[in-house]
Amino acid sequence: MMKNRLMKIYQILYEAYGPQDWWPGESTFEVMVGAILTQNTSWKNVEKSIGRLKERGVLSPAGICGLNKTELAPLLRSSGYFHIKTDRLKAFVNFLFDGFGGDLLKMQRAPLKELREKLLSVKGIGPETADSILLYGLGKPIFVIDAYTRRILFRHGMISEKASYEEVQNLFMENLPRNEKLFNEYHALLVHLGKWVCKKVPKCDICSLNGIAHSASRENKIKRAIKKKNWYP
């Protein structure tokens, strides 16, 4: 059963890597800002931008709201595509004030489905960013899907290469308890595996999941794809 398989994978990864303590951030708003800035860049670069916002004393909804785009953009330069991310961060803060008066607690009390739909209507916020804000920022029980997760599941024959975000997300949502702590830890463990082991050129020989989800035929298929430089993603 898929439920048992997913839980077994979680247990193995947790025993192998331990708690990941995600998401790094000193406040709810900092986590939300990080979720927006981390698009197409490393967390190291995001930390530099967050550090500059802190130095200016503007890492708050009111602080960002009080800056115009010309003032905000230089503070986000290290996160890459900083003009685009300036627009997105301003759009998110405007959404926060328009819908919740800038009150994060009020935002947190909103129903998950309704809040997710509203977040997805904000310029530059797609499913992964919205779900990161919901799970890591607000503690809502929703599973975040990223490139690492898709890669791992595809290589182990659990999803198709063309599976949509919603299809992959439903795999977790329909087969695991709706628990934000479980979703938080599980996603973080998959990121760890994808970053250090199940890379674009995977290290299958040291994978903790060998023997449970990775058949010999599947591994041979991956190796052939790598030789052709056609691995996923």
Predicted local confidence at residue 23, as pLDDT: 85
Predicted local confidence at residue 227, as pLDDT: 57
Q: How many helices (H) and strands (E) does the chain have?
A: 13, 0
Predicted local confidence at residue 218, as pLDDT: 56
210 forms beta bridges with 214
* Interatomic CA distance for residues 78 and 117, integer angstroms: 30
Residue % of the chain over a pLDDT of 90: 86
The full set of domains in the chain, from first to last, is 1-233 (1.10.340.30)
* Interatomic CA distance for residues 205 and 171, integer angstroms: 26
Predicted local confidence at residue 33, as pLDDT: 98
Of 45, 7, 42, nearest in space to 182 by CA: 7
Q: pLDDT tens across 80-119, in order?
A: 999 999 999 999 999 999 999 999 999 999 999 999 999 9
Predicted local confidence at residue 211, as pLDDT: 76
Residues 6+ apart with CB under 8 A from 140: 112, 115, 134, 180
Predicted local confidence at residue 1, as pLDDT: 85
* Interatomic CA distance for residues 20 and 179, integer angstroms: 16
Residues 6+ apart with CB under 8 A from 46: 34, 37, 38, 79
SS3 state of residue 50: helix
Predicted local confidence at residue 219, as pLDDT: 55
Q: pLDDT tens across 60-84, in order?
A: 999 999 999 999 999 999 999 999 9
| Residue 173 φ then ψ, to 5° | -65, -30
Q: Report, as ranges of residue numbers, the positions in the chain whose pLDDT lies below 70.
A: 213-233
